[in-house]
Amino acid sequence: MSVIEVTDLRKSYGGRSVVDGVSFTVDEGEIFGILGPNGAGKTTTVECVEGLRVPDAGRVRVTGLDPVAEHDKVAHVLGAQLQEGRLQEKLTVREALQLYASFHPHPADWRPLAERLGLADRLDARFGKLSGGQKQRLFIALALVGNPRIVVLDELTTGLDPRARRDTWQLIEEVRDSGVTVLLVTHFMEEAQRLCDRIAVIDKGRVAALDTPAGLIRRSAGATVITFTPSAPLDEGELSALPALASVRHRDGRVTLAGSDETVNAVITLLARHRITAHQLRVSDATLDDAFLDLTETTS
């Protein structure tokens, strides 16, 4: 069952189109990702879902509710961690949780929530003294304290170090496993590939593609990546003529080809024919990063 429905959403600022006909649905119980570069229209889209911005055109429904006309009702089913979330520096973790719980008629017990999110020993710490990872855990707790069916997490891991980012990914998976639908906005490809059941790739205000991470990668022109350092130069014309080849890149003496299994077989044959050794040869599946670059270049 779809808990979020966005149909032909449009929003402009000063005559400049920021969201231009975006449509997607989010199913109950999934982690749905909105992926794209900075300025692509991701945050404006989710702010319309949250009821924080009024669309110029199109239709948005959250569990069947209009997030603008029925904002109070939507606030009880949707929790949000905003991209630029801040709290008063002297507010303690305990005070923040108590305050946000008071906004809801049937809040979650914030004590086990704080325990679950690793904040139990920081309840008396002031917001200004928390680390980046602790602040993000607190924002997740504040988004969940109202017992929402859906939680929106916007650029949650921006600015975190790799360890804190991975800890936060585990928390997001635990949130979904508890029965909460997650709408995750990110520009980190690895994050989207690890967490999301489905992804809408937004570029220049439009949906460039919508599929599972594996489906997006399969749709990429270069689903297989071959990287090696040749023992002698290769003829560019012969490289360009390889079957199913999507791209050729040269960097620091290494050659990177994007293509298919057919491309792999052909380049090995080419190397053998010219008696060229491929040092540090690696063959791997394309990543979501590769697919994203291919998809956005195709639609630009």
CA distance 229 to 187: 31
- The whole-number pLDDT of residue 188 equals 85
Phi, psi at 28, each rounded to 5°: -60, 135
Q: Say if residue 97 is in the same domain as residue 132.
A: yes
Quick check: 83 pLDDT over 70? no
Q: Say if residue 264 is in the same domain as residue 290.
A: yes
- The whole-number pLDDT of residue 84 equals 62
Q: Among 37-41, 46-50, 54-58, 159-163, which is the least confidently predicted range?
A: 159-163
Which of residues 180, 195, 211 is at a domain's end? 211
Quick check: 231 pLDDT over 70? yes
Q: Say if residue 264 is in the same domain as residue 202.
A: no
Q: Characterize the bridge pairing of strands 181-186 and 198-203.
A: unpaired
% of the chain exceeding 90 in pLDDT: 62
At 143-196, the pLDDT tens digits run 899 999 999 998 877 777 788 788 888 888 988 998 999 999 988 888 999 999
Quick check: 26 pLDDT over 50? yes
Which of residues 211, 242, 274 is at a domain's end? 211
CA distance 216 to 298: 13
Q: Say if residue 125 is in the same domain as residue 183.
A: yes
Task: Give the CATH number for residue 75.
Answer: 3.40.50.300
Contact between residue 200 and residue 299 where contact means Cβ atoms under 8 Å apart: no
Contact between residue 274 and residue 293 where contact means Cβ atoms under 8 Å apart: no
Which of residues 194, 211, 228 is at a domain's end? 211
Residue listed under structure tokens 């050794």: 277
Q: Say if residue 87 is in the same domain as residue 119.
A: yes
CA distance 193 to 288: 6
Instruction: Count the domains in the chain.
Output: 2
At 87-107, the pLDDT tens digits run 999 999 999 999 999 998 889
- The whole-number pLDDT of residue 202 equals 92
Helices (H), the chain: 42-50, 71-75, 93-101, 110-116, 132-144, 162-177, 189-195, 213-219, 236-240, 261-273, 288-299
Task: Give the CATH number for residue 284.
Answer: 3.30.70.980
Q: Which pair of tokens denotes residue 145?
A: 């304290």
Most confident of 30-34, 117-121, 223-227: 30-34
Comparing C-alpha atoms, which of 285, 87, 278, 298 is closest to residue 209? 298
Q: Say if residue 29 is in the same domain as residue 8.
A: yes
CA distance 297 to 300: 5
Q: Say if residue 154 is in the same domain as residue 255.
A: no
Quick check: 298 pLDDT over 70? no
- The whole-number pLDDT of residue 156 equals 79
Q: Say if residue 222 is in the same domain as residue 205.
A: no
Q: Say if residue 162 is in the same domain as residue 245.
A: no
Strand partners of residue 283: 226
Q: Say if residue 109 is in the same domain as residue 202.
A: yes
Amino acid at 289: D
Q: How far is CA 288 from the centre of its chain?
A: 11
At 256-288, the pLDDT tens digits run 998 888 999 999 999 999 999 999 999 988 778
Residues 272, 274, 275, 280, CA torsion sign: negative
Q: Say if residue 75 is in the same domain as residue 207.
A: yes
Amino acid at 54: V
Q: Say if residue 183 is in the same domain as residue 82.
A: yes
Range of the domain at 134: 2-211
Quick check: 40 pLDDT over 60? yes
CA distance 25 to 7: 8
